[in-house]
Amino acid sequence: MTAKLIKGTDIREEILAEIRAEVEKIKKERGVVPGLVTILVGMNPASVSYVTAKIETAKSLGFHEVQDSQPPDLSEKDLLALIEKYNKDDTIHGILVQLPLPKGVNEKKVLNAIDPDKDVDGFHPVNVGRLMIGGSEVKFPPCTPAGIQEMIVRAGVETNGAEVVVVGRSNIVGKPIANMMLQKGKGANSTVTIVHTATKDLASHCRRADILIVAAGVPDLVKPQWIKPGACVIDVGVNRVGEKVSEKTGKKVAILKGDVDFDAAKEIAGYITPVPGGVGPMTITMLMKNTLSSLKHKLGIA
């Protein structure tokens, strides 16, 4: 293997330790801690597992954490009223509504009801606009793209003037990370290209990339001959390609694969993220960072 492995699992621990230290300092000096509420409607098993991971992480950091579990038949009106209650609650700095919501509830309407200054997921149109403007306007960069940028920066990869190619243009990964990398400033200032299913020659674009960010959701889409020797390859894809029995628990678990042919790519790239253990662990970490950042904005110390 020639590429340096960028491990999200290690970077996560670094960032969580930094957050924990800041939380302790603010608590000591100002007597407050970041507050995060997670609203879960119904008991979708995948949602329960995501919410549990978020709550456990928030608790481990000393946050004020509220888990608000609601029945599956909660009306849209009652959900909007609940959001309004947390919008007004001074002890809450971040509001998360776990998706998907039950049928009949308008997700867009619900997410747009969250106070943009408590929208720690960064998906409210106000925060999308702030991200587009960049600089000090940005309050909550969306968590997965923010995690990707942290990984690139902490690995010591030069972004200034770098050719960045992003495969995928979703609102949660492709578009925001492309936007973040083109901003003028540290950890960005790159020349950015976004490619998608209508792109004529995907391979030639990828081959130009000093930093290749792949978020397509297609296992092994990126072939080793598409990678520029020495490039930094960030594989966001998480694809379930089968099942296996876990050696630890004896239970069936999913076999996960990224969007990049990892075994071949690691012989050509300079840096590469694994799947699992790469970008995945960064998302909840950055959610915690955004919640702390929300409190710091409120205190005027951001």
Q: Which residues, including other chains, have CB under 8 Å from residue 234's CB and lie 6 or more apart?
A: 6, 148, 151, 152, 211, 212, 213, 214, 273, 278, 279
Asked if residue 174 binds ligand NAP (CB under 6 A), the reply is yes
Binding of residue 249 to ligand NAP (CB under 6 A)? no
Going from the C-alpha of 256 to that of each of 62, 161, 172, 237, 272, the distances in angstroms are 32, 33, 20, 9, 16
Angstrom distance (rounded) from CA 174 to CA 236: 10
Q: Are 181 and 149 in contact (CB under 8 A)?
A: yes
For ligand NAP, the closer CB: 86 or 123: 123
Residue choice 15, 58, 120, 173 for contact with ligand NAP (CB under 6 A): 173
Coil, strand or helix at 237: coil
Catalytic annotation, residues: 54, 98, 121
Which of residues 172, 188, 232, 234 is near ligand NAP by CB under 6 A? 172
Does 280 bind ligand NAP (CB under 6 A)? Our answer is: yes
- Prior bond to 116 cis, omega within 30? no
Residue 270 CA from chain centroid, whole number: 23
User: By C-alpha distance, which of 96, 87, 24 is closest to 61?
Assistant: 24
Contact string 201-240 vs ligand NAP (x = CB under 6 A): -x------------xxxx--x--------------xxxx-
Q: Please give the size of the binding site for ligand NAP, defined by CB under 6 A.
A: 25
Q: State in angstroms the smallest separation of the CB of 234 from ligand NAP.
A: 10
- Mask for 109-148, x = binds ligand NAP (CB under 6 A): -----------------------------------x----
CB of 279 to ligand NAP, least distance (A): 4
169 touches ligand NAP (CB under 6 A): yes
Chain residues that interact with ligand NAP, rule: CB under 6 A: 144, 167-170, 172-174, 195-198, 202, 215-218, 221, 236-239, 279-280, 283
